[in-house]
Structure 1
């Protein structure tokens, strides 16, 4: 996802794209067929906004939606921790590509445009050691009623990423600074940034709803009115800007990740002060990345170990992956606070499932990770995102800084779930984890903190409004300090004739 120099520091873990290829799947799905297996809908009165259905893959690793290009439709995994759009092409001959829909180069789409005669290469690497490589091109991309002309994207011809459910690629929703394609080709802004900067949306934001029944919605240019019924309850937080990288000529901070400051953690009412890895960063506060591309919740050992010390009978069971197990009848709650209200996870939110060899224990989130050199300590993936409707506001040049809005779907003061409720939940979900626990105590590992990769002499204050690279300056801001007008946020509602799988 980054150039080699920046790879180790900056990539967000994309857990949602590594799964077995489904056997005997068709090489290509028809447009009607592929649309009928996912929730779709839109408010037809909002011609600069749309609502796309999303669905959880069968391996429960990634949420995907539908994009159309070159008279073909593709399922793409959503990822807010990366910024590039890529799909498998017919130039790929490896086994990973053989049974999934591919972009048909031979069709000769009238809207296809080569870049440098298909010789501008991309190589996106993810922190789980997977990669996707190929060449860059341009194509008109359709997202329901939204049209993005001449969008730069990657045509993958080599990868060790395995995909199932006929998922053909990834749609990154991050900032351009995160993009490999944008750093390789001229005028190759990532897809959401492209829509925002060209003024193609009612407002430069997208909203994400991940329901507990494995479906949900992605709204572009508006928020889902069927989920957010009271816009005044949305809690807004500044996206954290980052200084230039060490060793570069940059003198101004800009946006890199959908990250916000994490202020407090509570375990069953006991306070844990998050300990940031780098005290020299501008905020001296732990940072949390909201990442739909991650199937779990991940935090630093210095915090995760203290969280599980608040659980009776908890134990570290996997030193490599930082995985803890707790008794399945645990009644603790885990609460995250970003400066205002509390967002509380109940046992069915943070428990992964009973262990096959010892059903007394359940694996649990968060898992612990070694320090990242970009200072992002927490990665709040799907288990956290199930508990909120999340809004990613891209900001407006010179007028409005990027913001993340969180609309609670869990009642933070609700009584804790009983063991019988948890047991019934896992029984219905058939959520047993096929693994064995070690029969010995696993010690907390030691680790080395890498050097901080940003230039600390350049300030990066929260709320920074940059002069370019955000939404078009023609937008009228409604979310800025002193003029928050939530009733002006555009909404879109699912069609009453939703197609479901």
Structure 2
């Protein structure tokens, strides 16, 4: 089964030194890494790379470039390089001496001029922080320095391949009423082995309280019920192109959809009739979030276009206790806000602002057919000729120290935002309307002209945009240049940055 055509990544543009790069956004990792010109494989040479030979004036070596850095992904691809420091700028936000990885070898396929990955996860996820002192990730530095309006970032992902990343505020062009955001406390994770004796924040994960098919409720079956207090955990990851859950839940979900069948036990994929109308919903706390067929259908099977591959996919048990991974198909249905938390005052929170009204009922058959036609592609498949049995797995040992409690929404004293922030979500201090907002800058210019006879003419034109060259410092001609329009729109102490959706091979960031 060929799944490559459905893989994708949202990216933003940043500067490392004086050089601009596209970086894929990832909320399930914390580090920033870029391919460098020392990587000469075909996959590296196909995209802009950090020009080591340029000798940037803001580049700082770490241990004479001998501190190793590596990443690996679920498709088996890897990238290796070294740790360095460079001035990094994202819109109007700049961090000097930002630690990053510069890759010297890689078989990770990055297309459409994407040069690396920009992690937005908690610092405990950072590989760099484990080897280099004072190596706080980019967003975490901004939150700990107290330079943002509030330690929050928001993601708006749309089906038309665009979106926005806001840092320090909520995008008011999407969220018209911040009091309608449903907020949920993030869970802590215990230390691994004898790492230390304190739990801390690791992933953007919250408890999943239930899911439903066409209004019929189902209770999640957590992998480690005795350890997680019978809670099933869901992680939210913009770098994941799908939705995944444990076999014990996903099989029950599809059993409630007429005509469904398991078609690939390796990928954990089900096929359902393409004219399915039933909605699927997920419950977090008291908030129900609904996905319609156009949200969860992947596409028609090439050898039977009446059957469509569908999310969620099923996975074997994960030793970290995270049962559900909510990626792009889910995140496109909401505006997702990630509040980083404040040391000694406030826990990290995830907020969801539904982009659809769940009370509007089910989608029509015509709208689903139109959606599938607009996709214009089938998934290359060889559907099995007989029904497949749901596989069973042995649950692996739990990764974390079970003797140390890991609460949901615990107040911690380190690694979150500077305590100079006034809490918005803390107990006895809830003031949701105080969360900062930001509106995108107009991209159209309107001129109203009155001539000598009194006739009024209105002219609208696109605002002029300066181009940016990827992978090449200003005034430097060595290397391959890629010319693109910049994506940044700025405001003091926070910014809203359009992001774009591009297709890249195999589940790179899941």
Shorter chain as normaliser: what TM range?
0.7 to 0.9
Give 1:126 deviation, angstroms: 2.0
For 1:464 and 1:281, the matched residues in 2 are separated by 17
Which of the numbers 122, 135, 142 marks the counterpart of 2:89?
142
Instruction: Please state how far the C-alpha of 1:88 moved relative to its aligned partner.
Output: 0.5
Compute the displacement of 1:163 (Å): 0.8
In 2, the alpha carbon distance for the partners of 1:60 and 1:373 equals 25
Q: 1:326 aligns with which of 253, 259, 272?
A: 272
Offset of residue 408 of structure 1: 0.7
C-alpha separation in 2, matches of 1:299 and 1:60: 18
8 Å CA contact 1:91–1:157 kept in 2: the answer is yes
1:335-356 residue CA offsets vs partner (Å, 9 max, x unmatched): 0001112100000000001111
How far did 1:199 drift?
Answer: 1.5
Correspondent of 1:260 among 179, 192, 206: 206
SS of the residue 1:427 aligns to: helix
The verdict on how the C-alpha distance between 1:283 and 1:148 changes in structure 2, with shifts beyond 3 A counting, is farther
1:281 is displaced (CA, Å) by 2.1
Counterpart CA distance in 1 for 2:293 and 2:36 is 42
Shift of 1:133: 1.2
- Say yes or no: does 1:84 pair with 2:31: yes
CA distance in 1, matches of 2:147, 2:226: 39
Can you list the C-alpha shifts for 1:204-247, whole angstroms capped at 9, x where unaligned?
1100000121100000111101001000100010100011112x
The within-5 A match list for 1:431-442 is 431-442=377-388
Give the Cα–Cα distance (whole angstroms) in 1 for the partners of residues 73 and 394 of structure 2: 21
Distance 1:59 1:438, change over 3 A: closer
Q: Which residue of 2 aligns with 1:111?
A: 58
Distance 1:444 1:179 in 2: 36
Structure 2, unmatched stretches of 5+, are: 445-464, 466-484, 486-499, 501-510
Q: Specify which of 443, 452, 473 is matched with residue 398 of structure 2.
A: 452
Task: Choose between structure 1 and 2 for higher RCO, CA contacts under 8 A separated by at least 6 residues.
Answer: 2
Q: Is the Cα–Cα contact under 8 Å of residues 46 and 111 in structure 2 kept in the other structure? A: no
Q: CA deviation at 1:462?
A: 1.2
Name the CA distance, whole Å, in 1 between partners of 2:45 and 2:6.
19
Q: How does 1:133-282 map to 2 (within 5 A)?
A: 133-246=80-193, 248-282=194-228
| 2:169–2:438 contact (8 Å) kept in structure 1 | yes
SS in 1 for 2:118: strand
SS in 1 for 2:130: helix
5+ unaligned residues in a row in structure 1: which ranges? 1-17, 20-57
Structure 1 equivalent of residue 78 of structure 2: 131
SS at match of 1:407: strand
2:392 & 2:271 partners in 1: Cα distance? 20
Q: Please list the CA deviations of residues 357-389 of structure 1 after superposition, one character each: whole Å capped at 9, or x if unmatched.
A: 111100000000000000000000000000000
Distance in 2 (CA, whole Å) between partners of 1:129 and 1:63 is 21
1:356 paired with 2:302, answer yes
Contact kept in structure 2, 1:280 and 1:456, CA below 8 Å = no
Shift of 1:456: 1.4
Equivalent pairs counted in the alignment come to 445
Check whether the contact 1:283–1:461 (CA below 8 A) recurs between aligned residues: no
Question: Counterpart of 1:97 in 2: which secondary structure?
Answer: helix
Q: Is the 8 A contact 1:282 1:456 kept in 2?
A: no
Alpha-carbon distance, 1:434 to partner: 2.2
Which residue in 2 is equivalent to 1:94? 41
Q: Which structure carries more strand by proportion?
A: 2
Distance 1:108 1:346, change over 3 A: same
CA distance in 2, matches of 1:340, 1:59: 32
**1:10-60 CA deviation, whole Å, 9 max, x = no partner?**
xxxxxxxx97xxxxxxxxxxxxxxxxxxxxxxxxxxxxxxxxxxxxxx865
The aligned counterpart of 2:351 is 405
Counterpart for residue 15 of structure 2: 68
Distance across 2 between alignment mates of 1:341 and 1:494: 28
Given that 2:35 and 2:116 are in contact with CA atoms closer than 8 Å, whether structure 1 keeps it comes out as yes
Q: Is the 8 A contact 1:328 1:419 kept in 2?
A: no
Q: Quote the residue 1:14 is aligned against.
A: none
Q: Which residue of 1 aligns with 2:454?
A: none
TM-score by length of 2: 0.85
| 1:66 CA displacement | 0.5
Give the stretch that moved more between structures: 463-472 or 194-203: 194-203
TM-score normalized by structure 1?
Answer: 0.87
Indicate yes or no: 2:431 matched with 1:490.
no
Q: Distance in 2 between matches of 1:113 and 1:466?
A: 33
**1:150 Cα shift?**
1.0
Match of 2:336 among 386, 390, 394: 390
Please give the residue correspondences for 1:35-50 in structure 2 after superposition, counting only pairs within 5 Å. Answer: none
Which residue is equivalent to 1:39? none
Match of 1:343 in 2: 289
**CA–CA distance in 2 between the matches of 1:304 and 1:202?**
40
Query: Which residue does the alignment assign to 1:314?
Result: 260
In angstroms, what is the RMSD of aligned CA positions?
1.5
1:418 shift after superposition: 1.7
What are the Cα deviations for residues 145-166 of structure 1, in whole angstroms up to 9, with x where unaligned? 1111111000011122101101
